[in-house]
Amino acid sequence: MSRSTRRRRINDSEDGDEDEAVSDQDVRPSSQRRRQTSRADAPAPAAGPSRSTDGGDAFNFDVDLRPHPLSRDQVPNLKNLMTELRNQDQNIRRCIELLNDTAEQVAEAFRTHDECAELQQAELDLRELMDVQAEKAIRRRVLEEITQDLQSGISLDDPAKRYKDEVQAHLDTYNKQTSRRKYAKNTDFHNFKNAVWVAREEGAMPPVRDLIPAEDGDEDDSDDEIVAGGQTQNFRCPLSANLLEDPLTNSNCTHSYSRAAIQNYVEAGNNKCPASACTAAVSRSSLKPDPGLAKKVAAFKRREEERALARRQTSTILY
């Protein structure tokens, strides 16, 4: 082998080593190389207490989850909770009002039917809303009692337990009551039953208690207890003695009158309600349109016409 050939092989070997060295170098951008270097040079984080989920020493449930006492400083928080319960109660009341309005319309539409599944379901829904309303009232009352104790300077070591126990005790007492005891004296339930009765029956409604089936424990009701029944609503104007026409209701006493009759009465200089034994003031500003009452008057007229027609047909058959 000639000297020149050996020299070329040596040079080729050195060039190959240099190519491998270049290929082994990091050819990434300098910014990425700096980030990797800084991470590699950064010290490892100091080992802290690990929060294991197996109940080890890192998390002591008896200490970290123990009940926290309440003091007077937490009274504003309790008042916020009571405010929220009041807001929920207002929402429930709106639902009850809508339900009663709907039930009245359904009763009018199905007044000739012996049974109406929609009205039966409406009554069940009303009872459920009343039960929820009673629960909210119980929770609010317990919070009020706890708030009074805190304001008196009493510190509560386990307020959550007291709240839970007292609420449950009151709920148990409520749930043990019969349906008559729960609903017979409730104004919303009374209005519901009366609206259905007026649409489907004649005369005044009997006491609400008599419309609720008796259950075990109802025999203990006192005979001396005053039980209110339904009232036959008067749809006649106290001025004209005729059925109300385009009624206006006095916001000072809730009496209603035909629009033309009461406007003439007020323009003549009168300022006292014309209803018997009523001393409330009446003026143009106190008279408000009452579209709900107008609908009731129209329904009453239809019922009276149907009943009059039925009586005439019966008389024709008999005679």
Q: Mind listing the pLDDT tens digit for each residue in 240-292?
A: 999 999 999 999 998 999 999 999 999 999 999 999 889 999 999 999 999 88
Write the DSSP symbol of residue 56.
-
Whether 87 is in a domain gets the answer: yes
pLDDT over 90 at 92, yes or no = yes
My answer on whether 186 and 81 are in the same domain is yes
Distance of CA 58 to the CA centre of its chain: 43
Q: What was the pLDDT predicted at 284? A: 93
Is the domain of 270 the same as that of 167? no
CA distance 288 to 259: 10
Instruction: Note whether residue 26 is domain-resident.
Output: no
254 shares a domain with 200: no
> Same structural domain for residues 86 and 206?
yes
Q: Give me the CATH number covering residue 290.
A: 3.30.40.10
Give the count of domains, the chain.
2
More confidently predicted of 192 and 233: 192
Which residues fall within 8 angstroms of residue 78, CB to CB, at 6 or more apart? 143, 146, 147, 150
Please check the confidence at residue 302 and state whether its pLDDT lies above 90: no
pLDDT band (50, 70, 90) for residue 231 = low
Decide if 23 is inside a domain: no
pLDDT for res 74: 85
- Considering the chain, what is the average pLDDT of its residues? 78
The domain containing residue 111 runs over which residues? 72-210
Within this chain, do residues 131 and 80 fall inside the same structural domain, yes or no?
yes
- Residue-wise pLDDT tens digits, 177-193: 999 999 999 999 998 99
Please indicate, yes or no, if residue 232 is contained in any of the structural domains.
no
Residues 6+ apart with CB under 8 A from 243: 235, 236, 237, 297, 300, 301
- How far the first Cα of the chain sits from its last, in Å, is 150
**In the predicted structure, residue 142 carries a pLDDT above the cut 90:** yes
Task: Determine the pLDDT at residue 91.
Answer: 95
Domain boundary among 186, 210, 234: 210
User: Considering 149, 183, 210, which residue would you say is the last residue of a domain?
Assistant: 210
Residue 275 domain-assigned (yes or no): yes
Does the structure show a pLDDT above 80 at 55?
A: no
Average the pLDDT over 202-229 and give the result: 71
| Better-predicted residue by pLDDT, 10 or 309 | 309
Residue 37 pLDDT class (50, 70, 90 cuts): very low
The predicted pLDDT at position 223 comes to 42
Are residue 204 and residue 84 in the same domain, yes or no? yes
113 band by pLDDT with thresholds 50, 70 and 90: confident
202 part of a folded domain? yes
For residue 38, is pLDDT > 80?
Answer: no
Least confident of 108-117, 132-141, 172-181, 302-311: 302-311
80 and 170 co-located in one domain: yes
Q: How far apart are CA 263 and CA 283, in angstroms?
A: 9
25 lies in some domain: no
Which of 15-24, 60-69, 154-163, 245-254 has the least mean pLDDT? 15-24
The residue among 153, 184, 210 that closes a domain is 210
- Look at residue 62 in the predicted model and tell me its pLDDT: 54
Contact 93, 186 (CB under 8 A): no
Same domain, 190 and 258: no
Residue 48 scores a pLDDT above 50: no
pLDDT at 22: 41
